[in-house]
Amino acid sequence: STIESDTATFNSAISACEKAAQWKQALQLCRVMAQNEIELATITCNASISACAKGGEWEHALYLLSAMTESKVQGDRITCNAAISACANKGEWQRALLLFSVMTRSTLESNTITCSAAISACEK
């Protein structure tokens, strides 16, 4: 018998990758989801972007952010915070502030984490 994989299964695996900063594995799981036409959810993308942030891969984090838009996956505050953090962690302060600016002009409300990440980006 086989176990059917679904979005929740992949979310769990990608969240584990995020916690372990295994960004390559998280991205690979996203690719497998796309190949098998398994729907990406906001939580899937958030965990993947966070994994990239922890791995210092800001370019991959921003790629995922743009892929979310193309796939019509709605981002949230966590999405933006993770992307801002990814940029901040590697000293990409201009990109971090641009994301912060876009976020503050959208319907998403910033929080302490958002502001801390933006400030951190400027310190590096």
Residue found under tokens 């984090």: 61
Residue found under tokens 């590096």: 124
Q: What tokens appear for 78 in the block?
A: 């966590």
C-alpha R_g of the chain: 14
pLDDT band at 11 (very low <50, low <70, confident <90, very high): very high
pLDDT band at 55 (very low <50, low <70, confident <90, very high): very high
CA 114 – CA 84 distance, rounded (Å): 7
pLDDT above 80 (res 4): no
CA 60 – CA 73 distance, rounded (Å): 17
pLDDT above 60 (res 2): no
The amino acid at 54 = K
